[in-house]
């Protein structure tokens, strides 16, 4: 029911501000986007088969039968869609001003094929004219789609254009970050076949109104598509109108130079030679009503197709190999702390042939994966099993931080899962049924300052069009306070890492307050997860829990550049840092973990996780500080018993009571 309520809340939104054209389309189609190809394309069976069997790509439909060969495009806006009329007129005038295409009102009985605007399927359209039979084809301008840029984008599909980044040559210009794409949506980044579309001799257009946004189909708020050589480049038309190259392509596809008389349009370019060493080209008859008036070998759609044998000098041509898409990442090698995950790809898109070059690079890839911590300190919390740890909701605010897993109750805001494995809990502030400025505050207890300072680490999401703010206040026992973290406004989808320095003079105490403030009701859900406090200031922290193990193995020297960047504390990049927790004076496990330490030691945690275990489970790991005097026998007969094997025969009594004789320390 939560998602039904989400849809009702957005049903009356007709315009949105901000974002690229495709960003708006993705936002409007959210929840139904899997029914479309590449976010907003409605495929007919023939085009679906072309795409399935194709290999190389451009961005305008190659088959001229899908064009509006008269250059006249009838359209109809039904009475129930009257609210989009003004924006449709502005969009149409853009085509009239820059191209030879002419949109006219549809008249029943006179026009056979036409476009009808509807609101049934989000923002969507088929590609090209419905050539195989007379009748209407739909451009859907649903809730959230009624803006000029989106209407132009969908009309571009209807006159025969695909998305710009689907060109076969796109990898020269952009890189696809497959690891950031929503699971199950990798096919939304397919490249098309040269059999399907034609680039019309126009170079790649980063500003095309048909280009994906950098964050299209992102699962974590990170870019899914970036420009080669400039990863911060924004895509799409800044004006949300046709780019100069969009106009060139339309005029080339529809042969707009030849508008003064009827006759044959210019031939398309030759296709590359196919696997049988044939290539084709097409032209269409621009006519007043008789598709055969141009003469030649015209087919029933007014199109002439030439298919010729390629010469031996160009076929078979060498085919350089190109990598297929990366597989999804495999599962992490560990279940907590950090590990390794792997993926693979194949050199089959296409495979090298006829002496072409092999793919450059590696078939397999791997990266670190960060999970929840295996062991939590008393000031750490991951919110599992509805635990707040040392934190608590303030009784002086308006709202509470609440536990949740999965989606929040309002679409287009909040996370869709927890930070690590996607199955756990997080804390969030629900923004529906609230007032602007209301605040939820999570507070810690008073804590003594630690030598060398500390670093608060956490993950947060602030996704939503009316987002408020997230602040973390540090309050000292002497009355002073200041913010150690502050973010305001929409930060995009996905979990992001936050940090704040706890730099308090020794002798004072401090407490923290995590404050989530509502922007406008409805789209301001704020969430946090995995809140940790680690020794040392934030500028000198380890990015991975395993850093201390790598450091003991000499990696700070062997892999100096990476380790100094990612393992600053373990590699002592910032200079010596005093331990915040002195080693215990006796050989005992910490009281907080006394019940668990023996079990962890039995399963090898002393070796797998030595830094933490040797600090907190000293007894179970048989580690004692030099000069410890607590290592003694409690009975003067222990030595004799040990000599006759009682340490082995009766370990449960002997080891705790005859530590010295049984060599337990």
Indicate the annotated binding residues for Zn(2+). 153, 157, 163
> Do the bridges between strand 102-105 and strand 72-76 make them parallel or antiparallel, or are there none, so unpaired?
parallel
Cβ burial, residue 186 (10 Å; 0-12/13-18/19+): middle
Residue 154 among the catalytic residues: yes
Confirm if 439 and 516 have CB atoms less than 8 A apart.
yes
Contacts of 125 (CB under 8 A, 6+ apart): 40, 41, 42, 137, 138, 139, 140, 154, 155, 157, 158
Closest to 540 (Cα-Cα) out of 570, 569, 563: 569
Residues in the chain: 665
SS3 label, residue 109: coil
Closest to 485 (Cα-Cα) out of 546, 526, 437: 526
Confirm if 427 and 403 have CB atoms less than 8 A apart.
yes
Angle at 215 between CA 213 and CA 217, to 5 degrees: 100
DSSP 222: S
Confirm if 408 and 464 have CB atoms less than 8 A apart.
no
Annotated binding site: 153, 157, 163
Closest to 248 (Cα-Cα) out of 289, 285, 297, 199: 199
Write out the E strands in 383-453.
Answer: 392-393, 402-404, 426-429, 439-443, 447-448
Distance CA 203, CA 75 (A): 31
DSSP 457: E
Contacts of 205 (CB under 8 A, 6+ apart): 164, 211, 243, 245, 246
Confirm if 64 and 282 have CB atoms less than 8 A apart.
yes
Confirm if 631 and 664 have CB atoms less than 8 A apart.
yes
Distance CA 590, CA 291 (A): 89
SS3 label, residue 624: coil
Closest to 534 (Cα-Cα) out of 358, 375, 365: 375
| Catalytic annotation, pick one of 26, 154, 249, 282 | 154
Angle at 441 between CA 437 and CA 446, to 5 degrees: 145
Strand partners, 93: none
Closest to 23 (Cα-Cα) out of 334, 238, 261, 280: 238
Q: Residue 81 has which token pair?
A: 């869609």
Contacts of 22 (CB under 8 A, 6+ apart): 39, 153, 211, 212, 213, 216, 235, 236
Q: Where are the alpha helices (DSSP H) in 44-110?
A: 45-53, 85-98
Distance CA 525, CA 462 (A): 7
Confirm if 307 and 281 have CB atoms less than 8 A apart.
no
Angle at 103 between CA 102 and CA 109, to 5 degrees: 115
Write the DSSP string, 151-202: HHHHHHHHTTB--GGGSTTGGGTEEE-GGGBPTT-GGGGPPPPTTTEE-TTP
Distance CA 512, CA 516 (A): 13
Distance CA 159, CA 171 (A): 26
SS3 label, residue 610: helix
Q: How far is CA 118 from the centre of its chain?
A: 31
Active-site residue list: 154
């Amino acid at each position: 029911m939560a998602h039904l309520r989400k849809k009702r809340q957005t049903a009356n939104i007709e315009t949105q501000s901000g974002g690229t054209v495709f960003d708006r389309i993705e936002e409007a189609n959210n929840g139904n986007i899997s029914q479309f190809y590449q976010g907003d394309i409605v495929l007919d069976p023939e085009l679906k088969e072309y795409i399935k069997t194709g290999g190389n790509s451009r961005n305008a439909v190659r088959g001229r039968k899908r064009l509006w060969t008269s250059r006249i495009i009838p359209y109809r806006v039904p009475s129930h869609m009257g609210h989009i009329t003004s924006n449709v007129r502005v969009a149409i005038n853009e085509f009239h001003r820059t191209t030879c295409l002419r949109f006219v009102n549809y008249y029943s009985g006179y026009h056979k094929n036409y476009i009808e605007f509807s609101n049934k399927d989000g923002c969507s359209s088929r590609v090209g004219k419905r050539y195989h039979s007379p009748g209407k084809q739909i451009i859907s301008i649903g809730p959230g789609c009624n803006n000029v840029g989106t209407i132009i984008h969908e009309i571009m599909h209807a006159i025969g254009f695909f998305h710009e980044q689907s060109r076969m040559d796109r990898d020269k210009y952009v890189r696809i970050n497959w690891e950031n794409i929503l699971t199950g949506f990798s096919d939304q980044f397919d490249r098309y076949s040269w059999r399907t579309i034609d680039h019309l001799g126009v170079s790649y257009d980063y500003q095309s109104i048909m280009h994906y946004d950098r964050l299209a189909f992102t699962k974590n708020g990170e870019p899914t598509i970036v420009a080669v050589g400039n990863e911060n480049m924004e895509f799409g038309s800044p004006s949300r109108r046709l780019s100069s190259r969009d106009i060139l392509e339309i005029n080339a596809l529809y042969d707009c130079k030849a508008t003064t008389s009827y006759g044959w349009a210019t031939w398309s370019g030759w296709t590359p030679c196919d696997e049988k060493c044939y290539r084709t080209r097409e032209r269409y008859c621009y006519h007043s009503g008789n598709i055969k008036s141009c003469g030649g070998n015209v087919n029933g759609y007014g199109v002439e197709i030439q298919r010729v044998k390629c010469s031996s000098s160009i076929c078979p041509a060498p085919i350089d190999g190109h990598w297929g898409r990366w597989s999804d990442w495999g599962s992490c090698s560990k279940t907590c702390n950090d590990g390794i995950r792997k993926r693979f790809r194949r050199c089959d898109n296409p495979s090298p042939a006829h002496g072409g070059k092999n793919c450059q690079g590696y078939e397999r890839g791997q990266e670190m994966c960060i999970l929840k911590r295996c062991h939590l300190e008393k000031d750490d919390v991951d919110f599992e099993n509805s635990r707040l740890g040392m934190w608590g909701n303030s009784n002086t605010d308006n709202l509470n931080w609440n536990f949740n897993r999965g989606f929040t109750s309002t679409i287009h805001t909040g996370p869709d899962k927890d930070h690590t494995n996607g199955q756990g809990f997080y804390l969030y502030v629900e923004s529906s049924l609230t007032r602007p400025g209301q605040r939820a505050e999570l507070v810690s207890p008073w804590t003594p300052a630690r030598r060398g300072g500390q670093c608060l680490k956490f993950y947060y999401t602030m996704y939503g069009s009316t987002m408020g703010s997230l602040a973390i206040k540090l309050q000292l026992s002497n009355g002073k306070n200041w913010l150690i973290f502050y973010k305001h406004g929409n930060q995009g989808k996905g979990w992001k890492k936050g940090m704040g320095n706890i730099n308090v003079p020794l002798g004072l105490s401090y407490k923290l307050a995590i404050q989530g403030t509502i922007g406008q009701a409805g789209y301001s859900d704020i969430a946090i997860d995995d809140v940790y406090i680690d020794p040392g200031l934030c500028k000198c922290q380890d990015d991975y829990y395993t850093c201390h193990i790598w450091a003991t193995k000499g990696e700070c020297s062997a892999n100096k550049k990476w380790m100094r960047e990612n393992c600053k504390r373990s590699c002592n990049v910032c200079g010596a840092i005093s331990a915040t927790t002195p080693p215990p004076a006796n050989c005992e496990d910490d009281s907080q973990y006394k019940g668990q330490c023996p079990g962890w030691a039995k399963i090898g945690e002393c070796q797998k996780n030595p830094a933490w275990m040797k600090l907190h489970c000293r007894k179970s790991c048989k580690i004692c500080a030099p000069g410890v005097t607590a290592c003694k026998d409690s009975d003067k007969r222990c030595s004799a018993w040990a000599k006759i094997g009682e340490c082995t025969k009766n370990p449960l009594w002997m080891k705790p009571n005859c530590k010295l004789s049984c060599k337990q320390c």
